Structure 1
Amino acid sequence: MVVSAQRFIGDSSGHQTFRNDLMHPAFSVILLTTLIGAGQGLYLAMVTGQLYAIARFLPLQKDQFYALGSLVALVMLVAGLGASFFHLGRPERAWRAASKWKTSWLSREVIALPLVMFLVFAYALAHLMEWTEPLFRVGQSLDVDVTLLLGLLGTLASFALYVCTAMIYAGVKFLEEWHTPLTVTNFIFFGAASGFMLAAAYSAYVGNPLVTFFGTWAAILTLVALVSRVAHLARNARIKHKSTIQTAIGVRHTVLTQRAQGATGGSFNTREFFHGRSDRTLGLVRALYLILVFPVPILLIGAAYVTESSTLPILAFAVQFLGLLLERWSFFAEARHPQNLYYQSVA
């Protein structure tokens, strides 16, 4: 997954040069992380609804409701997996990515994603086949059936997948914007918020009364995600990078200015690692996702409660997911790769 970047500035002579210190997001990776995040979140919403019903906090729904919702989650997961193949140089060798599972978070993600997909499919199938006969009883009132066991196993696997996906980036020590536990919390809460928002949209579409339950949890998770993301932005704004032009070339002089990259044209580094967007564009994207991901969906869900609209929850999910695409682009684009210290200027 190659992601890197560049931003351009004007020099004193009026020429535009390229300031190469940000990462270039691959759109396939953006789709992968947002789609599987929402798919996992929707599955977690289905299991949560069933658990609340077992505890008698909610009315128990028909098996078809949980099955269809889980199949929608599976479609999201499959779509995310499909998107991942667009950034592979040799897709036929993708299976080899799982071979380094002892040391690589990417390998662990490659293993965890099919496992989650299998458990989501099995959970949906169990509900479709109405395999709800109790296998055993816990305590005096909790009857455990196949669907509940699969739901709990799938929940554990889903959280493991969230961690694996996030740690691919949080584990990269030299990208200081990513190397923080906040990257993990962002992936978890963004995925869960979008999944529960999708559950509200799904409930509204099929006319199920749980739209209020899922919408309320979606709003809560969205607010928690807001706290996590704002904390991440505040942390990154205070970073004092360890790598500088001085450390890159081993010269201790306090004032160094790079006039050229050592070549008159572009290179692999400037093509693949720089996005070429201005600071103004980055700021605009940040402002847009902060609006689209957080206040707008919550307001739409609130309006749906008041008006009893069946379309506003669907619109809320669509708006939030669009915002999440922008947020994920911004997440990748804001990372400053140390290699870009060698390519600060392209005249």
Structure 2
Amino acid sequence: MHPAFSVVFFTTATGAGYGLLALLGVLGGLGFIPADFWLGLIGMGLALGLIAAGLLSSTGHLGRPERAWRAFSQWRSSWLSREGVASVATFIPAGLFGLGWVVFGRTGGWVAIAGLLATIGAVVTVCTTGMIYASLKPIAQWHGRYTLPGYLIFSVMTGSVLLNSLLQAFAIGSTAIAAAALLLTLLGWGWKLATWRYNDRLEIATTANTATGLAGGTVRSLEWPHTEENYLLKEMGFRIARKHAAKLRGITQALAFALPALLLLAVLFALPWPLAAVPSVLAAIVQFAGMLVERWLFFAEAKHTVTLYYGR
């Protein structure tokens, strides 16, 4: 796949935004987070801002962005359409939750119900995003058991690190939240390593013979189906050198997992407030940058079987 930045930013930003929204909704609704005006304003603003920015960025990958609304009509059969419906629907309880928290200064009662519904909507939306890719049988690296759980793990991981940075900045940092962010970061790291190991050992049964339906001997491509570069090759035929992939995997591990984990360890065991706020915020920024690299690799390393028709 050709990693367009609009899609890379979309999956990274919405994942972090929905993860933060889900945690704010459930923890705020259950009273674990105080109904502070500025915390609610900045926290909900950050979560909804990341989601909106990601969704708007995704339209940049469309050939005709003005027709994006038509995607909502295919919710019965398309995971992309279901994602659009779920994302818009989630804004309703999320808006009510933010309104109750910021304007009325409360997170209980009907506001708590709205927060829990926003959490459910966020989880459902992330699931639909993951299924867009997990349902694609022609791309073996995505059509496996690691894709959907990976989307959920990375969403709550980045969301928890963002939440920890917010709480630390407002001097209400929680050891439990920081510890959860650290454990989720380590879980995400382990899951990514397992995914890479699975994909590297993946044996794709489809060959040029099976793709063309020509049995016997070895099928070789004498000429391309098209005389020049086209959409299929631009979107589905991207190739990345092994040495570059290895280098980017190292950058991903350092920025998305290792460095944030070390910064969170410093918050837990070494630094009191307000010093703890600095590494907490830095961990969120560094991890977001690392996840941009991880998402780029997610697309770049995928191989679509359509490339078999081009002798690749």
Structure 1: any 5+ residue segments left out of the alignment? 1-22, 134-143
> Separation in 2 of the partners of 1:266 and 1:43?
42
- The aligned runs of 1:38-49 (5 Å cut-off) are 38-49=16-27
Structure number with higher strand proportion? 1
Kept after mapping to 1: 8 A contact 2:240/2:301: no
Give the secondary structure class of the aligned counterpart of 1:226: helix
**Which one of the candidate residues 204, 208, 224 is aligned to 2:187?**
224
Q: Deviations over 1:134-170 (max 9, x none)?
A: xxxxxxxxxx502110111011111100110000000
> Separation in 2 of the partners of 1:170 and 1:236?
13
**Which one of the candidate residues 26, 35, 39 is aligned to 2:13?**
35
Aligned-pair CA distance for 1:256 = 5.5
Aligned length: 308
Partner residue of 2:142?
178
**Which one of the candidate residues 307, 313, 324 is aligned to 2:291?**
324
> Separation in 1 of the partners of 2:104 and 2:221?
68
Larger Rg: 1
Partner residue of 1:214?
177
Structure 2: any 5+ residue segments left out of the alignment? none
**Which one of the candidate residues 267, 272, 279 is aligned to 1:304?**
267
Kept after mapping to 1: 8 A contact 2:20/2:159: yes
Aligned-pair CA distance for 1:131 = 6.1
The answer on 1:123 being equivalent to 2:124 is no
Partner residue of 1:97?
71
Aligned-pair CA distance for 1:266 = 3.4
The answer on 1:80 being equivalent to 2:54 is yes
- The aligned runs of 1:95-244 (5 Å cut-off) are 95-130=69-104, 132=106, 145-205=109-169, 207-210=170-173, 212-244=175-207
Closer, same or farther: CA 268–73 of 1 in aligned 2, 3 Å: closer
Give the secondary structure class of the aligned counterpart of 2:146: helix
Kept after mapping to 1: 8 A contact 2:237/2:303: no
Closer, same or farther: CA 187–265 of 1 in aligned 2, 3 Å: same
Amino acid at match of 2:259: V
Amino acid at match of 1:210: G
CA RMSD of aligned residues (A): 2.3
Partner residue of 1:25?
3
Partner residue of 1:271?
234
> Separation in 2 of the partners of 1:263 and 1:169?
26
> Separation in 2 of the partners of 1:241 and 1:274?
16
> Separation in 2 of the partners of 1:131 and 1:319?
32
> Separation in 2 of the partners of 1:235 and 1:194?
23
> Separation in 2 of the partners of 1:267 and 1:59?
52
Give the secondary structure class of the aligned counterpart of 1:241: coil
TM-score by length of 1: 0.81
> Separation in 2 of the partners of 1:256 and 1:49?
58
Partner residue of 1:313?
280
Amino acid at match of 2:311: Q
Does 301-310 or 170-179 show the bigger shift? Answer: 301-310
Aligned-pair CA distance for 1:297 = 0.2
Percent of pairs with identical residues: 32
Kept after mapping to 2: 8 A contact 1:77/1:117: no
Q: Deviations over 1:257-290 (max 9, x none)?
A: 5576367753443333333431211121122112
Give the secondary structure class of the aligned counterpart of 1:311: helix
Kept after mapping to 1: 8 A contact 2:39/2:166: no
> Separation in 2 of the partners of 1:82 and 1:60?
31
> Separation in 2 of the partners of 1:189 and 1:315?
20
Structure number with higher helix proportion? 2
Kept after mapping to 1: 8 A contact 2:3/2:300: yes
Aligned-pair CA distance for 1:227 = 2.8
Aligned-pair CA distance for 1:251 = 4.1
Kept after mapping to 2: 8 A contact 1:194/1:321: yes
Kept after mapping to 2: 8 A contact 1:122/1:150: yes
Give the secondary structure class of the aligned counterpart of 1:235: helix
